[in-house]
Amino acid sequence: MAVIKLDIGTQIIYKDQKYQIKGYPSLDEVLIKLTEKPYNEKVLKVSTLIKEPKNAKEQSNELVDIDDKEFEKALEKYKIIEPLLSLEKRTAKDVEDIAKKHQKGIATIYRWLTTYETFNTISSLSPAYKNSGAKGKSRLDKSVEAIIESVIDEFYLTKQQYPLSIIYMKIVEKCNNLDLEVPNINTIRNRINTLNPKIVAKNRKGLSVRDTRGMPGKYPDVKMPLDVIQIDHTKVDVMLVDEETRKNIGRANITVAIDVYSRMVYGFYISLEAPSYFSVGQALLNAILPKDDLLKMYNVTGEWPVFGLPRAVSMDNAKEFRSKSLQMFCSEYRIKDIYRPVARSHFGGIIERLVGISMKKTHLIPGTTFSSVEKKGTYNSAEYAVMTISELEQWYTDFIINIYHKSVHSTIHMTPEEKLYQGMLGVGDGTIPFLPTVPSNTLKLRMALLPASERTVQKNGITIDYITYFSETLRKWIIPAQYKKLNQNLISNTVLCRRDPRDISKIYVYDPDIDNYIEVPYADIKRPAMNIKELRQSIAEAKKEVTGRELEQHDIFQAHNRLFEYTEKAKREQKTVRRQISSKKHMQKTMDYESKVLKSDVTLNKKHKETFEDDEDGYEYYPVG
């Protein structure tokens, strides 16, 4: 009679693969580890080991989506290591020769070889590969991973519906039995939140597949503040006036975010410009940072205690939410982006309810447009308009913190403020105390929320939208043509640039050597500053005048000067001109506020000795602001 020996260190065969027994999480379970790459580990019932049939299908490695650019980079890595893959007896000298030929580190070549030989796919060489252990991926011990997976299968995905506390207790018990480091309960909560809701509903509630058809495929459970926030735009139902002339300038747009758990307003941004990634970014900046300074700026008395980085952001499919800049921001701060299914508006019901309540309140303001032509009747909104955009910001801030946050919500049966404090104190089933987290470097946060693009540094600087920017700090990226021809793998001269749409007279270039942004002004600093809307108008105007050749920088600034003269001649009589001028004033006001905050951030950084020294080439780097 055959027997299976379960001593630690014993090798066994499971699913036609050789494993080694590592330990015993419980009396009837065994922890096993593959004896060959990728050295995966599993927790199995002893009975499963005995009954498991042979020739079970292998599970394929999972991939996350990678774009064409990432795949091209992965392909470049593969072509470098390809000669080494075909060698029967690869030596250290072979690896050294390849590293020297391509000017790469020897450790880097070994890392690429290990990755490729583990997964055998070119895409595995991309940083976006799920199993690569890159930033944002699990870094838990493989034994702990195996325990978490087994406990979730056995205790969470069951009709007994064990709570999180029991799940975590089982994981702690099994980890202690193997003398492994116990993961944080937040890790377990996040792991459960990533499970497919259809699978959870089927296994915990006994629903059939048909019953789960209407459930969201990836929408996570909400157990604590900032688990999920929803964000959206709308036009404000109020006509505004210019701060100086008090003449009508039309309606503003508001971008607002709400915390799904507490129903607290997370942040907002009001602008006279059309919704864009910038307005999304400014709303998030308003939301993530503590709001004491904001309340002082708006001169509003009260508390607005919700702040910190969210774990997930739920958005619709508008282009500003699908922008690469927003995806880069979410990736940088490990925020999950959730897009609502097309034609299923109820997925954004919480934010839409907030917008609806807010707009009803604006119907009490002189100059309201109401919500429909029928309700408006013969009311002349433009004639009765009295509120400026700054006054609207103040009114909305006062409304949300002193009325909306303190009113009982029909769904949560308490005020949003009470619900937030419950989450902060860990009151309620399955909740734990909520501790908000904010980036340690607020300068980087502000930069990350500006529109981004990649550009190459040429000998005359960086050109974006026909405008050239230059600073001596860019010289490190300028590669002489003769060196380019000799070695294509020389240091890249492509840099990440960010530009504030309110003032395009300078850009911010990320320097990985100092892990910060450097400020790069116009190449011709005598040129006038302008915002992105003025730049677009100037480009359009220049194209009308220039034919038979490419546009140049001076064409843009000449067109800008002409448009400025037209604006002065109009004497602000046209509504569109008044709106444009008011928008520029409002932008400048908010930039002045940000500049004040940035200066305090720099002072704080200096106190912590987080200053930058002179570069060895003699160029001095300054933190933004």
Render pLDDT for 329-345 as a digit per residue (tens, 0 to 9): 888 788 888 877 654 44
Q: Report pLDDT digits (tens) over 117-152.
A: 766 666 677 765 444 444 444 567 778 888 888 888
With 60 as the cut, is the pLDDT of residue 423 above it? yes
Q: Is 315 helix (H, G, I), strand (E, B) or coil?
A: strand
Q: For the packed helices 106-119 and 68-85, what is the interaxial angle rounded to 10 degrees?
A: 100
Winning range, highest mean pLDDT, from 5-9, 176-180, 466-470: 466-470
Helix (H) and strand (E) counts in the chain: 21, 15
- Among 41-45, 192-196, 541-545, where is mean pLDDT lowest? 192-196
pLDDT-derived band of residue 520, with 50, 70 and 90 as boundaries? very high
Neighbours of 299 (CB within 10 A): 9
pLDDT at 603: 56
**Other beta carbons less than 10 A from residue 537's beta carbon:** 16
**Stretch 98-117: mean pLDDT:** 82
As a whole number, the mean pLDDT across the chain is 78
pLDDT (0 to 100) of residue 131: 43
pLDDT computed for residue 119 by the predictor = 61
pLDDT at position 512, please?
85
Q: How far is 341 from 322, CA to CA, in rounded Å?
A: 13
Q: What is the average per-residue pLDDT within 475-491?
A: 65
Is the pLDDT score of 253 beyond 60?
yes
Nearest Cα neighbor of 465 from 604, 560, 383, 380 is: 560
pTM for the predicted model, two decimal places:
0.56
Per-residue pLDDT at 83 exceeds 60: yes
Query: Looking at the chain, how many residues does it have?
Result: 625
pLDDT in the model for residue 433: 62
Mean pLDDT score, 197-201: 68
N-term to C-term CA, the chain: 78
- Which are the contacts of 323, defined by CB distance < 8 A and separation ≥ 6? 277, 451
Whether the pLDDT of residue 430 is over 70: the answer is no
Helix-strand-coil split of the chain, %, nearest 5: 45, 15, 40
The reported pLDDT for the residue numbered 611 is: 41
Question: Given 3.60.15.10, 3.30.43.10, 3.30.1130.10, 3.30.420.10, which CATH number is that of 229-425?
Answer: 3.30.420.10
Is the pLDDT at 177 greater than 80? The verdict is: yes
Q: What percent of the chain is modeled with pLDDT above 90? A: 22
397 in Cβ contact with 299 (< 8 Å): no
Q: Write out pLDDT tens, residues 432-453.
A: 666 678 777 788 888 888 888 8
